[in-house]
Structures are given as C-alpha cells and as structure tokens.
Amino acid sequence: MPKKFVPEVGQIIYVNTQWFTRNEPNLTEYRVTKVNTASVYAVRADKTRETETRFNKRTMTADDGFGFDYIAYETAEEYWDQVKSAKEKREKVEWILQNIKTVPMSGLVQIEEVIKSGRK
C-alpha cells in the first residue's frame, strides 16, 4: 500500500492498474481534477480516456466495478521501489525453498527460531 498523501487539483499522480487476471507492473500518469473530503478525482494525463476515476481519499485506491483496481502513488519512484522490493522478496523466498532441503536439522532449528522471533 502506498504511503498516505493528499494530492492537489492539477497535480500528476501515478496509477497502477490491476485486473484480476493481470498483475504485471504498469504505471499511468493521471491528472487530479477535483478533491473533496472523501474522494480524489483524476483523469488520464494522456487523455486516452476522458472519464474521471474516483479514488478513496484515505486509501488512494479505486475500483471501477468491472474487475479493475487502481492504486495511486505520489511518485513513480515510490511504485517502482515497491515493485523492486517485491521481486527481491520473491527471489529470496524461491532461493530458500530450493536450498532448504540441504540444511541439517540443527540449522533448521535455528531458522525456525529466527522466524519465530521475527514475528513478535
């Protein structure tokens, strides 16, 4: 989830669009058109779609009712850093799962203790 921010009218925000079957990284610029107490409205900056998207001001997310979810970010870097971090985590988990079979029992006990202590 992106950090909380409150955009101003005219500001460019960066929106990730996810569909229930498609989650590859993507980012689109939107221009904020209106801000009220509960919502932020924005349109695509490239003007390929004139319809306003209404974002919840508290979460900066939107759902169009057709399976698309929108998440707004204040900067493109914030989004791409999140994508990079998620990719690194997936790679580390995959590496651990592939190599855990060769760890002796004493090592597994130590790993278990580390995991349990990290959950507190």
Average the pLDDT over 6-27 and give the result.
Answer: 88
Which segments of the chain does DSSP mark as H helices, in order? 76-99, 105-118
* Whether this model's pTM surpasses 0.85: no
Mean pLDDT of the chain: 90
Which segments of 4-104 does DSSP mark as H helices, in order? 76-99
| Residue entry with tokens 């508290």 | 58
